[in-house]
Amino acid sequence: MTGDPIGDAAPRYLTTFHPKRIPHFFTDVLVIGSGLAGLRAALAVDPKLSVLIVTKSNRRQSNSRYAQGGIAAVMDAEDDFEKHIADTLTAGGALCDPEVVRRVVEEGPACIRELIEWGTRFDEYEGRLALGREGGHSHNRIVHALGDETGKEMVRAVDERIAASENIAVWENTFTVDLLTYENRCRGAIVWNAAHGRTMVWAKQTILCSGGAGQLYRETTNPDVATADGWAMAYRAGAELRDMEFVQFHPTVLYIAGSSRHLITEAMRGEGAYLVDRNGHRFMPDYDPRGELAPRDVVSAAIVAQMEKTRHPNVYLDLTHLDPDRIRRRFPGIASICEEFKIDITRDRIPVRPGAHYMMGGVTVDWQGRTTLPGLWAAGEVTATGLHGANRLASNSLLEALVYGKHAGLGASRAASASRDDFTVPPIENPAVEPPHEPLDLIDIRNSLKSLMWR
């Protein structure tokens, strides 16, 4: 699927702007998004080049930060790459790119070692990395940190390196409205923030790391920033998108009527938690011999079927048969969240149901993170790399973000270094966008869209 920036169906740019009436900013490399992919991409750029990261919220607010379970990597002598590759291919429904899977999996151990060198405090047991197991994995290979706050800890460590890098600037609370293009090439982006309004940011190379789309759905694990704008701006600019039909729904989202939703990591099922229905029946073995450790798409479908069968709005995650002290140590964050709703995870069953979680599709990229639009690179959930196929294997997303973030950063760095510095602002044609005839109720439109997507 490719956007048509010069067609009559839609205007090229989302808003009207006059290039001579707004500020201009110049940088060697522009990174859009401050999740793990964006941060890693920025760090891969040659320190001699200037880098600007723009992020719509604060610099540590992203889907990456909320990752609980961990990052998948072959770190145990009894595990091997072939097993991780096979698990990934199986979960993806035979639609993964085998070569991409192999390359990403084989870079996993180096990613973990790098994070440790950068100060990430991964959990250990008897002097070695503590490795968990999640659905779809045939071996314990989930590296985790601070119990169930892996993403938060990884982002902290990487962001501290960003803060110490003199060539990297970060603009927080800055929304990227559109990619700037001229002569079929990405030239940067037009951004907006409350303090300065719109700014045209010109860059030799641009890396799109804008994250996911969970906020398109009524039920989601994603934070407010996951609004799919990266795909929209890439499409308007003419970049190719693919596999947009592949949306992953996480099986276990805390379901309390009237409250916000919270992800309940499947690492709990890896530790031995059961899924039971309203009658206390453990139902997953009825649907799949792997039980609670089946891949996410299988478990989500089973939960929906059991909800319909029992005529109940949710099922339950049951940890009451497990050692309470071990559970509290392993999942302190989830225990704290559940306590807000007077749920003791060691004594009470946790009400859960599926929610929109991750997009396998996105902007088409090659192994280097290069898109079909010259001058534009991409990494993270906004991309379609071929790693996940139709269904992502648990904890492969942080791994993909690190691997592709690094490669996209290196590629953009090489391209920017090879560009001349005698840059002149190209003429940007921006026909006026006709305003709506009636005032728009944006809240109503957003809620209607979420309900429609959920149905």
Q: Residue 108 pLDDT more than 70?
A: yes
Q: 24-32 and 197-208 as β-strands: parallel, antiparallel, unpaired? A: parallel
* Torsion 232-54-222-299 (CA) sign: positive
Catalytic-labelled residue, pool 236, 296, 330, 353: 296
Distance CA 377, CA 411 (A): 8
Q: For residue 28, what pLDDT is reported?
A: 98
**CATH, residue 45:** 3.50.50.60
Residue 340 has which token pair? 């807000």
Residue 227 has which token pair? 């609004």
User: Is position 3 within any domain?
Assistant: no
Q: For residue 438, what pLDDT is reported?
A: 72
Q: What is the mean pLDDT of residues 380-397?
A: 96
pTM confidence score: 0.91
Q: For residue 14, what pLDDT is reported?
A: 82
Q: What is the mean pLDDT of residues 372-396?
A: 97
Same domain, 30 and 136: yes
Q: Enumerate the β-bridge partners of residue 355.
A: 250
Phi, psi (5° rounding) for residue 229?
-65, -25
**CATH, residue 327:** 3.90.700.10
pLDDT band at 453 (very low <50, low <70, confident <90, very high): confident
pLDDT band at 8 (very low <50, low <70, confident <90, very high): very low
CA-to-CA dists, residue 218 to 247, 281, 302, 388, 447, angstroms: 14, 28, 20, 24, 8
Q: What is the mean pLDDT of residues 109-113?
A: 98
Q: For residue 11, what pLDDT is reported?
A: 73
Q: Residue 434 pLDDT more than 70?
A: no
Number of domains present in the structure of the chain:
2
Phi, psi (5° rounding) for residue 143?
-85, 130
Phi, psi (5° rounding) for residue 374?
-55, 140
Same domain, 253 and 242: no
* Torsion 100-176-438-446 (CA) sign: positive
Same domain, 229 and 277: no
Same domain, 187 and 212: yes
**What 3-state DSSP class applies to 27?**
strand
**What 3-state DSSP class applies to 162?**
helix
Structural domain of 274: 249-356
Q: What is the mean pLDDT of residues 246-270?
A: 91
Q: For residue 6, what pLDDT is reported?
A: 44
User: Is position 29 within any domain?
Assistant: yes
269 is catalytic: no
